[in-house]
Chains A and B, each alone.
Chain A
Amino acid sequence: MATVINMPKLGFDMAEGRLIRWVKAQDEAVQKGEVLAEIETDKATVEVESQESGVVRVHLVAENSLVPVGSPIAILGTADEAIDVEALVGKSGPARPAAAKPASPEAETVSLRGRAETPAAAAATGLPAGPHALEDEGDGKLPAGLRATPVARRLARERGLDLKSLSGSGPQGRILKSDVESALTGSAAATQRVQLSKLRAIIGRRMTASKQSLPHFYLTADLDAGPLMALRADLNSRMPQDQQFSVNDFLVKSAALALREFPNLNASLEGEEIVRHGQINIGVAVAMDEGLLTVVARDADQKPLRTLSAELRQVVARAREGRVRPADIEGSTFTVSNLGMFQLDQFTAIINPPEAAILAVGSVRQEPVVVDGQITIGRRMRVTLSADHRVTDGAEAARWLQVYRSYVEHPVHLLV
């Protein structure tokens, strides 16, 4: 029984996704849980796993096309069943489906030899060849016009270099091994022009839009981190090495609990409405080589600290390996950005739309503090809340910070 696979909704604000690459070709078998395609949302490129096992019979959209959420992208079936595309997806389906071919041995030969596919062969199926068939005319899997030698492709693939960012010195602009190598080693003196990576470009667009259109205001508070550091040291002394709590675990948990009392800070503005989210999902900014990625601690207010810590550790590890799943990065309602490991006092962050606020966390510093009229050595941490003035005001945000302070400074409450 054939099944239609639709463009998944990978986040509550996702309206469309760009299908970057078909990982499973037409007529290729796929197991449940295997990656079917790569889809670029406006946040990141994510791998979409197949929800069931079968054979990918028809790609309904070509690579690199923008598809609305819920629109059909492929048909999954058994190897030999007849596929009636129109009956399955209706006339409202894609206007230009890729050629649907029965997976008979002869047909498979045709599909394996994409370049040999003639208009006549496509016509015989009764369907237009579609953009996918045309793309196969190019130079392997490279975008049209881009030439690179096999060793250059392999090196670029292994080192995560985008060939599009290079200019080739070979015949007809062919990218050679030496071009990749010089791009990898770079030259201290030479000026380099580096093509924006997808992630970099996305961050740029989103942050520009946020900073230009959201009226940010900023509140900074200096917190006593002494109790938190002491509690963490105490807890970690009894935890195995691979389960140690990070400072951030406490800060995320504190933020989540404080948000329970201030739904306006766990919200999105949609037109004339403030959407107060039912879940408290804390985004945690993770610095990677290519840029910043925000992973999500779901229901952070509900989960015990140890669970929260373990889940975050896994998600961050996946992000650093470039293997994030949609659920890892979508659906955050508030973000904590912690640059404490870089020895800085404080900073301000740009709100990550459609969220209403973001908390920027500086380093824990030892410094003289006045306690009961006496100067003593304290451990202090400065946090700065950036909030969207359309959704909340300074007084409300300040009260949130007070509650946040109470959790951070009395961290034992995070454990109950």
Chain B
Amino acid sequence: MAVITMREAISQALWEEMERDERVIILGEEVGVWGGTYAVTKGFYDHFGPERVRDTPIAEAVIVGAANGAAMAGLRPVAELMTINFAFLAMDQIVNHAAKLRYMFGGQMSVPVVIRAVGGGGRQLGATHSQTPDAIFAHFPGLKVVAPGTPHDAKGLLKAAIRGEDPVLFIEHATLYQFRGEVPDEDYLEPIGVSKVQRPGSDVTVVAYSKTLQHSLQAAEQLAQEGIQIEIVDLRSLRPLDMGPVLESFKRTNRAVIVEEGWRSYGVGAEVAARIAEQAFDYLDAPIRRVAQAEVPLPYNQALEQMALPQVDDIVSAVREVL
């Protein structure tokens, strides 16, 4: 197995799917000639040509709207949003069109669109460009929301998203592109809507995804030195949300910490904690803890920004609190 970066994994997934299926096209700001703001589509324009790799105006509603239309007409568009913060400009296209058309028109058409969006904070991009609004999108039935935390999952899940019939919001964390991991050499898919235990343990169930998965894995190393073994369940997709491995783990550990980069209020942690309480109340041995972003617009100042974002130490403390 090759060790590659998250960027390479996503790039490979797109490349391989475009080679495999000529209906797969890419559109977005700077995805063509420039090769993508995060250099994911470097070389695509030259190889696949301007028909299949299209630069668009700076108008997110147009990007997603055009992608929706192309999907309804039979293509497999992958729309790239430079940051997920710009998805708010395309909100109507995402939640009222992509997510609902198949339902509202009795299944006459599906909308097999993939919207890649870069999310998360930590790069000093300011409050409006650093948000983690994952839970907002996961709120809407009809839209799948995927957020991988490893190169392996990124590649397999993106391929599955492109091949699936449903609209998928594929959230890539801005600070994970350089992150390396093992990826199989052969073609493979990872199923959307299946959580995965990324590290086994016996003392506390830590639920995480995307960047917080990597934070949690680091916290696990620290805690292991104290003899505390946490079990990390990676959600990988927020909708559909697979609670199976979470509950299975929780019934053994009786303690849970949920880590998300977004704000705590009304967030992913709230949802997971509620489901644990509903479905495994009789296994609860300590209050469920959530680790999340401070409830402020994310500061620009680097020290303050890091302070507001959930860090490895926050996870370590939360685990100690529930023990």
Binding site for B on A (CB under 8 A): 149-154, 170, 176-178
**Contacts between chains A and B (CB distance < 8 A), count:** 24
Binding site for A on B (CB under 8 A): 254, 281-286
| A-side contacts of B254, CB under 8 Å | 149, 151, 177
| A-side contacts of B283, CB under 8 Å | 150-151, 154
| A-side contacts of B285, CB under 8 Å | 149-152, 176-178
Q: Please, how many angstroms separate the alpha-carbon atoms of A177 and B281 in the complex? A: 13
In contact, A154 and B286 (Cβ under 8 angstroms): no
Q: Which residue of A has the minimal Cβ distance to B277?
A: A150
Q: Please, how many angstroms separate the alpha-carbon atoms of A151 and B251 in the complex? A: 9
In contact, B281 and A149 (Cβ under 8 angstroms): no
Q: Which residue of A has the minimal Cβ distance to B251?
A: A151
What 20 new A-B contacts, CB under 8 Å, besides A150-B281, A150-B282, A150-B285? A149-B254, A149-B284, A149-B285, A149-B286, A150-B283, A150-B284, A151-B254, A151-B282, A151-B283, A151-B284, A152-B285, A153-B282, A154-B282, A154-B283, A170-B286, A176-B285, A176-B286, A177-B254, A177-B285, A178-B285
B interface, by DSSP: helix, strand, loop or mixed?
loop
Q: Which residue of B has the minimal Cβ distance to A176?
A: B285
| A-side contacts of B282, CB under 8 Å | 150-151, 153-154
24 of the cross-chain contacts (CB-CB < 8 Å) are A149-B254, A149-B284, A149-B285, A149-B286, A150-B281, A150-B282, A150-B283, A150-B284, A150-B285, A151-B254, A151-B282, A151-B283, A151-B284, A151-B285, A152-B285, A153-B282, A154-B282, A154-B283, A170-B286, A176-B285, A176-B286, A177-B254, A177-B285, A178-B285
A88 to chain B, nearest CB (A): 39
Most chain A C-beta atoms within 10 Å of own C-beta, residue among B281, B282, B284, B285: B285
B281 to chain A, nearest CB (A): 5
Q: Please, how many angstroms separate the alpha-carbon atoms of A153 and B281 in the complex? A: 11
Q: Which residue of A has the minimal Cβ distance to B282?
A: A154
Q: Please, how many angstroms separate the alpha-carbon atoms of A154 and B285 in the complex? A: 10
Q: Please, how many angstroms separate the alpha-carbon atoms of A151 and B283 in the complex? A: 4
A-B interface, 6 closest residue pairs, ranked by CB to CB distance from nearest: A154-B282, A150-B284, A177-B285, A149-B285, A151-B285, A151-B254
| B-side contacts of A153, CB under 8 Å | 282
Q: Which residue of A has the minimal Cβ distance to B283?
A: A151
| B-side contacts of A149, CB under 8 Å | 254, 284-286
A14 to chain B, nearest CB (A): 36
| B-side contacts of A178, CB under 8 Å | 285
Q: Please, how many angstroms separate the alpha-carbon atoms of A27 and B281 in the complex? A: 26
Q: Please, how many angstroms separate the alpha-carbon atoms of A177 and B203 in the complex? A: 12
A154 to chain B, nearest CB (A): 4
| B-side contacts of A176, CB under 8 Å | 285-286
Q: Please, how many angstroms separate the alpha-carbon atoms of A151 and B284 in the complex? A: 5
B15 to chain A, nearest CB (A): 49
| A-side contacts of B286, CB under 8 Å | 149, 170, 176
Q: Please, how many angstroms separate the alpha-carbon atoms of A150 and B283 in the complex? A: 6
B160 to chain A, nearest CB (A): 36
Q: Please, how many angstroms separate the alpha-carbon atoms of A141 and B82 in the complex? A: 54
Q: Please, how many angstroms separate the alpha-carbon atoms of A106 and B286 in the complex? A: 35
A183 to chain B, nearest CB (A): 15
Q: Which residue of B has the minimal Cβ distance to A175?
A: B285
Q: Which residue of B has the minimal Cβ distance to A149?
A: B285
Q: Please, how many angstroms separate the alpha-carbon atoms of A214 and B285 in the complex? A: 50
B255 to chain A, nearest CB (A): 9
B52 to chain A, nearest CB (A): 55
Q: Please, how many angstroms separate the alpha-carbon atoms of A352 and B163 in the complex? A: 79
| A-side contacts of B281, CB under 8 Å | 150
| B-side contacts of A150, CB under 8 Å | 281-285
A321 to chain B, nearest CB (A): 23
Q: Please, how many angstroms separate the alpha-carbon atoms of A152 and B286 in the complex? A: 10
Q: Please, how many angstroms separate the alpha-carbon atoms of A177 and B283 in the complex? A: 9
A177 to chain B, nearest CB (A): 4
B178 to chain A, nearest CB (A): 41
Q: Please, how many angstroms separate the alpha-carbon atoms of A149 and B282 in the complex? A: 8
Q: Which residue of B has the minimal Cβ distance to A177?
A: B285
| B-side contacts of A177, CB under 8 Å | 254, 285
| B-side contacts of A152, CB under 8 Å | 285
Most chain B C-beta atoms within 10 Å of own C-beta, residue among A151, A153, A154: A151
A169 to chain B, nearest CB (A): 11
Q: Please, how many angstroms separate the alpha-carbon atoms of A170 and B323 in the complex? A: 9
Q: Please, how many angstroms separate the alpha-carbon atoms of A345 and B285 in the complex? A: 50
